[in-house]
């Protein structure tokens, strides 16, 4: 399946490409648009207006900047350009990201390209007529970067297994090298009799074996590191790979030359140690990073690739004169048919039919909305019960497509500890190289031999090898991940341990996070037994989610549901009616019962208003001309929600914000909590992400959610926390996922992260402190390469020991 979309301008907030779009989220505005006397601009909904009123626009994205980012840095992208996502195996630093982006842009027909080290993907905007994407894959493959479709999970697993073979293979040969050293070479270096006396031929044989096995470790296991060094030189961005490669290859070249001239004091063990330690660290980091790599492909799987377009001259309403076409072939005004259970392919307007449309994936609203001719529908929403004919909107775009673009921009822009290390490398690496060169020159100037000078320079490179620096974060993170798993928390990104202790604002999604998220009958006002049984008898013939909740309530209470013939049931826009045990029963919206001649009793009128005030949905049941009961349907708050909010707020140290796509009434109950600072209701997903961006002006923001519509907001936040019972898309966009339905673990995310953060800082302090002491000693000739390797190994072991300590 191709993950290609038509490029149609910005998907960002407030884009100039859509002058009539919402000033907050960029969605189309109604006619007339939502406005406020005290707020400038036009908005798509009341939620966007309230967010702008409360938070202002200080942090909103500059439209021109968003447009340039979405275009991948291109000055101008034609309207007929297409955009595709390709997974790239082998990126393990920011330099790889820059190299892949630059290489892709040099290909003919490619307008723009952005590689993302954060999710192992590259987004390419190209001319479908002239671009050769296969050629691009071939070019990247020559440098060791494999490309594939993001949905090819098996290919990803094969790549992961290949990395494992690199690590295991290098470990086997590395152990063989070290065995020769322990048995034969190390004893002679310290003046001890070796296990076996060596003759001339034996020495040549042993050193030859060591050289061969070291070569395999360096050039086979160390290939990704050597490639990273080469790429850093081509990109003009020196990174840690360059320093590691210089240290490893310098020891290898020096030792090879020493063997050729008959010396036995060689440093192949240094090469092996450097390569294996760094490779293991990189392998571990890749394993963590891969957990988040499927986010965009999972979301793309929910997108529609084809549509049923009516052929000119077809019979209206018959649905028999249609053709399946790609979405790129749709134009404004085309009529497309959407059957029950299918997703609406693009944004548009209902032309024929009436149906309940589930917008949960796109807007987050827990209740499906009934759409009639003239109503707008969003691409990516699901028609639940009856078919619709939709007229394609002006730009033939999909709201779900915009979510894909929004997720890419947010996720690929996130930086982590490794990005920081690579930035430090641009200073650290040249500094070490200069120090090594100065030490080499000073030794010669001071009367030392060329061999002595080479050893001093080599020692500086070896002792400064950033193994401890490279392991400082991954090993502390490993300990944190293990501890988190034991507490029911799956950590998908090391960003959790970096940023959570500094969080200032915690944003909770309402539906499915603070509430159960499942529609259920909360209570019955009136004759419960008879009303539930009669309602379930009719609702079995409706596919509406409210109907499902009523049927489940009957099953849970054990009510005796009468048998009803489908011929006796009529499904209305707002309910159902039919004959039950000889009595005509009407179930549904209060207005439907009134239209059918059923009078609502005062107690039931009161119950209807009470249900609406709490954000629930009243389903009225009536027969014989009068109402018999009101079934209150909704999702209840989780039992522990108020305690969790209080714990996270930490006595007012953090602000707590509740964000939801539901109505103001549905969110009203959460305003009364003393630790809740703001409640924003009726917020579309694009606005959720923008709201998080604006809240970041108040400090570091954590977002807690569970739905696909929360994914952009989870990615936009400094920290995203998703419930394990939510969608895969939300989990992939998050930095931490809570296993199970309970939210009690949320406060533990904060306490655990604080401990790991302290561990990371301690490791980094040791790593930098070690380099500050060891490098000057090496430059002064106090250390030789062997002791430099021992010092480097000791430093790494201390980091390992510190990381392995219990967090309690």
- Catalytic sites, residue numbers: 509
For 531-675, list the strands marked E by DSSP: 569-572, 575-580, 583-588, 617-623, 626-634, 655-659
φ/ψ of residue 737, rounded to 5: -125, 130
* Positive/negative CA dihedral, 234, 235, 241, 244: positive
Please, are residues 631 and 524 in contact by the beta-carbon 8 Å criterion?
Answer: yes
β pairing state of 583-588 and 382-383: unpaired
β pairing state of 583-588 and 575-580: antiparallel
Please, are residues 394 and 347 in contact by the beta-carbon 8 Å criterion?
Answer: no
- Side by side, which strands form the sheet with 335-338? 322-326, 306-310, 335-338, 388-392, 348-352, 376-377
Q: What is the distance between the alpha carbons of residues 765 and 753, in angstroms, rounded to a whole number?
A: 18
SS3 per-residue string spanning 210-278: HHHHHHHHHHHHCHHHHHHHHHHHHHCCCCHHHHHHHHHHHHHHHHHHHHHCCCCCCCHHHHHHHHHHH
* Positive/negative CA dihedral, 677, 681, 687, 689: positive
Give the 3-state secondary structure of residue 61: coil
* Alpha-carbon dihedral 230, 234, 239, 245, rounded to 10 degrees: 20
Q: Where is 337: in which H helix or E strand?
A: strand 335-338
Q: Of 424, 389, 231, 197, which Cα lies nearest the Cα of 310?
A: 389
Q: Which residue has the tokens 């001339």?
A: 200
Q: What is the distance between the alpha carbons of residues 794 and 808, in angstroms, rounded to a whole number?
A: 25
Please, are residues 224 and 90 in contact by the beta-carbon 8 Å criterion?
Answer: yes
The angle at the Cα of 88, spanning 87 to 92, to the nearest 5 degrees, equals 130
- Side by side, which strands form the sheet with 355-358? 369-371, 355-358, 382-383
Q: What is the distance between the alpha carbons of residues 436 and 175, in angstroms, rounded to a whole number?
A: 29
Burial of 44 (0-12, 13-18, 19+ CB in 10 A): buried
Count other Cβ atoms within 10 Å, centred on residue 718.
Answer: 22
Cis bond before residue 32 (omega within 30° of 0):
yes
Please, are residues 358 and 385 in contact by the beta-carbon 8 Å criterion?
Answer: no
DSSP 8-state assignment for residue 87 = E
β pairing state of 121-126 and 376-377: unpaired
What do you get for the CA distance between the two ends of the chain, in Å?
48
Q: Of 690, 6, 44, which Cα lies nearest the Cα of 376?
A: 44
Half-sphere exposure (CA, 13 Å, Cβ side) for 480? 30
Residue 34's alpha-carbon distances to 39, 49, 363, in angstroms, are 11, 7, 18
Count other Cβ atoms within 10 Å, centred on residue 680.
Answer: 25
Give the 3-state secondary structure of residue 7: coil
Q: Of 3, 2, 6, 4, which Cα lies nearest the Cα of 80?
A: 6
DSSP string over 471-517:
HHHHHHHHHHHHHHHHTTEEE--THHHHHGGGEEEEEEEIIIIIB--
β pairing state of 489-491 and 376-377: unpaired
């Amino acid at each position: 399946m191709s993950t290609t979309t038509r490029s149609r301008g910005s998907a960002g907030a407030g884009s100039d490409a859509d002058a009539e779009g919402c000033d907050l989220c960029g969605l189309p505005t109604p006619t007339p648009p939502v406005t406020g006397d005290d707020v400038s601009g036009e908005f798509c909904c009341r939620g966007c207006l309230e967010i702008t009123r409360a938070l202002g626009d200080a942090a909103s994205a500059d439209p021109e900047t968003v447009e340039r980012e979405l275009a991948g840095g291109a000055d101008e992208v034609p309207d007929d350009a297409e955009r595709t996502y390709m997974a790239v195996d082998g990126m393990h630093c920011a330099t790889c990201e820059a190299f892949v982006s630059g290489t892709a842009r040099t290909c003919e027909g490619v307008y723009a390209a952005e590689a993302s080290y954060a999710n192992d993907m590259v987004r390419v905007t190209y001319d479908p007529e002239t671009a050769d994407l296969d050629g691009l894959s071939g070019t990247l493959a020559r440098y060791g970067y494999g490309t594939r479709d993001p949905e090819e999970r098996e290919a990803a697993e094969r790549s992961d297994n290949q990395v494992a073979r690199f690590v295991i293979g290098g470990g086997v040969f590395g152990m063989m090298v070290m065995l020769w050293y322990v048995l034969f070479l190390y004893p002679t270096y310290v003046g001890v009799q070796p296990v076996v006396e060596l003759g001339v031929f034996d020495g040549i044989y042993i050193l030859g074996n060591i050289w061969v096995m070291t070569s395999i470790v360096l050039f086979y296991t160390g290939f990704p590191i050597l490639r990273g060094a080469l790429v850093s030189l081509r990109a003009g961005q020196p990174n840690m790979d360059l320093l590691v490669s210089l240290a490893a290859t310098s020891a290898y070249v020096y030792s090879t030359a020493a063997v050729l001239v008959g010396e036995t004091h060689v440093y192949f063990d240094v090469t092996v140690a450097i390569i294996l330690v760094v490779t293991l660290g990189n392998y571990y980091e890749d394993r963590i990073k891969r957990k988040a790599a499927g986010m965009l492909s999972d979301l793309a799987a929910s997108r529609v690739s084809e549509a049923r377009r009516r052929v000119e001259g077809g019979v209206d309403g018959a649905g028999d004169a249609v053709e399946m076409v790609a979405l790129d072939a749709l134009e404004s005004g085309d009529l497309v048919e959407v059957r029950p259970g299918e997703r609406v392919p693009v944004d548009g307007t209902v032309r024929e039919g009436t149906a309940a449309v589930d917008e949960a994936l796109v807007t987050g609203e827990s209740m499906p909305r009934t759409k009639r001719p003239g109503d707008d529908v969003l691409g990516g929403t699901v028609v639940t019960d009856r078919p619709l004919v939709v007229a394609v909107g002006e730009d033939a775009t999909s709201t779900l497509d915009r979510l894909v673009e929004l997720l890419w921009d947010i996720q690929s822009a996130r930086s982590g500890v490794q990005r920081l290390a690579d930035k430090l490398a641009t200073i650290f690496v040249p500094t070490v190289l200069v120090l090594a060169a100065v030490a080499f020159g000073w030794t010669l100037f001071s009367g030392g031999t060329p061999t002595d000078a080479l050893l001093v320079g080599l020692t500086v490179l070896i002792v400064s090898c950033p193994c401890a620096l490279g392991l400082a974060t991954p090993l502390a993170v490993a300990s944190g991940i293990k501890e988190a798993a034991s507490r029911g928390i799956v950590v998908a990104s090391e960003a959790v341990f970096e940023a959570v202790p500094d969080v200032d604002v915690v944003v909770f999604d309402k539906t499915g996070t603070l509430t159960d998220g499942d529609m259920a009958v909360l209570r019955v006002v009136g004759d419960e037994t008879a009303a539930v049984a009669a309602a379930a008898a009719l609702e079995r013939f409706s596919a509406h989610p409210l109907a499902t909740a009523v049927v489940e309530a009957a099953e849970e209470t054990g009510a005796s549901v009468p048998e009803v013939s489908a011929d006796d049931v009529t499904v209305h826009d707002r309910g159902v009616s039919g004959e039950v045990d000889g009595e005509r029963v009407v179930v549904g919206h209060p207005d439907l019962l009134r239209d059918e001649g059923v009078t609502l009793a005062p107690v039931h009128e009161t119950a209807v208003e009470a249900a609406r005030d709490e954000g629930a949905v009243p389903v009225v049941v009536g027969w014989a001309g009068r109402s018999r009961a009101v079934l209150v349907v909704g999702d209840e708050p989780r039992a522990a929600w108020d305690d969790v909010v209080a714990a996270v707020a930490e006595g007012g140290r953090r602000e707590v914000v509740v964000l939801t796509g539901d109505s103001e009434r549905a969110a009203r109950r959460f305003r009364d909590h003393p630790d809740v600072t703001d409640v924003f209701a009726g917020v579309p997903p694009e606005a959720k992400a923008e709201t998080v961006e604006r809240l970041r002006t108040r400090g570091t923001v954590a977002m807690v959610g569970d739905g696909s519509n929360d994914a952009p907001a989870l990615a936009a936040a400094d920290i995203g926390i998703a419930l394990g019972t939510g969608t895969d898309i939300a989990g992939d966009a998050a930095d931490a996922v809570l296993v199970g339905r309970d939210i009690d673990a949320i406060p533990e995310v904060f306490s655990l992260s604080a401990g790991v953060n302290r561990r990371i800082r301690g490791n980094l302090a040791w790593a930098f402190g070690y380099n500050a002491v060891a490098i000057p000693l090496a430059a002064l000739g106090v250390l030789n390469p062997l002791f430099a390797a021992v010092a480097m190994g000791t430093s790494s072991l201390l980091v390992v020991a510190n990381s392995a300590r219990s967090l309690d």
